[in-house]
Structure 1
Amino acid sequence: MKESVIAFYDDLADDYHLIFHDWNRAISNQGEVLSRLIRSKLADPHKEVTLLDCSCGIGTQAIGLANNGFRVTATDISPAAVDRAKKEAEAFGVAIHFGVADFRSLEKDISGEFDVVLSADNAIPHLLTDEDLYLAARNLYSKMNNEGVLLLTMRNYDELVKDKQSGTVPSVFNEGRRIVFQVWDWAEDFVTYTTNHFMMQEINGEWITKHVKTKYRALMRDELSQVLSAVGFVDIEWHMPPESGYYQPIVTARKKR
């Protein structure tokens, strides 16, 4: 899992912002939505909040939350993504402490504990086995203060598996000069699938296609809730997009005192 995921995000790091119509707006909107939800779960919503974003990518959520007053530490398994995130944070004028880490080894790789631990953008389903899921959940738990808040976001696999969805609808940007879509190759049991990510751009009159791929587990909401409960999380609650305003289902949980 590790090597293929690193390669996927290393290859995407320079172009990741191009999957959005307006990445700057996405940073702002996601920061506001996640900030509201997180603060609604805190005992003191007005305190200075320490937050670990443990799958930060190029900084979409980390920068947005830093802009909303959170004291952010951000890590990712991809060195190239972290390097890009550092440059973007500097350009946005926000102070974020960055590092390279796998969320299965956070306990030894990252010092300190946090009021909030976040993993967004469907990162957790890169964990293909129960063993890795439980290992990651224990490491997330270890990085939280007592009564700290966990927040994870992922695709709505309960619906995707039921509908046997084969990919995403192409997104067309820049007056038709950029097209982004995914094709999903499912395993026979519909438990895992390979994402083929395509980005097509017209550059100087020539169409260039970039293709990268990685593997995911179609993680059901009940499956993830059971893992979180088993390692000690309490107050596990799912927030769907119509309620939260975020583009993916979100699960929140609390570390038991």
Structure 2
Amino acid sequence: MDTRGFYDELAERYDLIYADWDASITRQGRALDTLLTAALGPGPHRVLDNACGIGTQSLGLGALGHRVTGTDLSPVSVARAAREAGRRSLTLPVAAADMRALPFADASFDAVVCADNALPHLLTAREVGEALAETRRVLRPGGLLLLSTRPYGELRRARPQSAAPHVHQGPAGRTVTFQLWHWHADGERYDLELFQLQPDGDGWTTRTSSATYWALPEEETAEYARRAGLADPLWHAPADTGFHQPVLAARRPSAS
């Protein structure tokens, strides 16, 4: 399944990955807002949530007053993000767009967020470089990139075969989500199979989706950011930010 198909198919049940999606929206929004305001001041800021999915980070940042625009490769996902914003009386313009070709003018945003392990869907150095160059282009001089991925330096050494299951308790019962990982021979890329078990009468319905990732270690991701013209890349650990993944912060130089 290609990346767009993966998220198109998953969009209507993506929230079931979380034990409490609303709590995650709030927690992630606050963590990213802390990083934004530390770097750029109190705002509100013009933020592009690049690879916004169904809106987890967009909704959290919008609720804190930032002027957020959401883009994602999946039109089904951005449509749901817009609906979720409407339910919360938030303004969230959205567009289906590839992060390698963003439909915005130069210097349109104070900050770009690319969270939840989205960049590693790009499987070659050229694609990663194109995406980060587009990020730099749409940032204003002095603007901020916040990029989160899994801690791939550690994961490439350990090569885990699975991720721990998550349980969502809903009105119809519990939904269980878990992942199996199948590492490629190169030791860098892996295929992920995502399983969701949903209650169905006295039994279960199993839904599966699959996608491929490039497990770029933190120092390599930072180097790609430098090559794209972003300055001072620095990783922030989850223990320091409250965000669930390491977050790379980098700036478009003020003089560019």
What range describes the TM-score normalised by the shorter chain of this pair? Answer: over 0.9
CA distance in 1, matches of 2:43, 2:75: 32
SS in 2 for 1:13: helix
Shift of 1:188: 1.4
Residue 224 of structure 1 pairs with residue 221 of structure 2: yes
Tell me which residue corresponds to 2:253: 256
CA distance in 2, matches of 1:84, 1:69: 20
Query: Which letter does structure 2 place at the counterpart of 1:232?
Result: G
Residue 71 of structure 1 pairs with residue 67 of structure 2: yes
Residue 121 of structure 1 pairs with residue 112 of structure 2: no
Shift of 1:153: 0.4
SS in 2 for 1:170: strand
Tell me which residue corresponds to 2:145: 150
Q: Which runs of 5+ in 1 are unaligned?
A: none
Shift of 1:174: 2.3
Tell me which residue corresponds to 1:159: 154
Between 1:118-127 and 1:158-167, the stretch displaced more is: 158-167
Residue 56 of structure 1 pairs with residue 52 of structure 2: yes
Shift of 1:162: 1.1
Shift of 1:38: 1.1
The answer to whether the Cα contact below 8 Å between 2:194 and 2:208 also exists between their aligned partners in 1 is yes
Query: Which letter does structure 2 place at the counterpart of 1:5?
Result: T
> Please, which of 5, 12, 16 is the counterpart of residue 14 of structure 1?
12
CA distance in 1, matches of 2:222, 2:207: 36
Question: Normalising by the residue count of structure 2, what TM-score does the alignment of the two structures yield?
Answer: 0.95
Query: Which letter does structure 2 place at the counterpart of 1:103?
Result: M
Q: How many residues align?
A: 251
Tell me which residue corresponds to 1:38: 36
Q: Which runs of 5+ in 2 are unaligned?
A: none
Tell me which residue corresponds to 1:91: 87
Aligned Cα root-mean-square deviation (Å):
1.3
CA distance in 2, matches of 1:177, 1:233: 44
- The correspondence of residues 206-217 of structure 1 with structure 2, limited to 5 A, is 206-217=203-214
CA distance in 2, matches of 1:171, 1:22: 10
- Percent identity over paired residues: 37
Cα-to-partner distance string for 1:7-66 (whole Å, 9 max, x where unaligned): 000000000000001111111111111101111011xx1232100001000000001000
Question: Normalising by the residue count of structure 1, what TM-score does the alignment of the two structures yield?
Answer: 0.95
Tell me which residue corresponds to 2:167: 172
Cα-to-partner distance string for 1:115-142 (whole Å, 9 max, x where unaligned): 0011000000001000101111110000
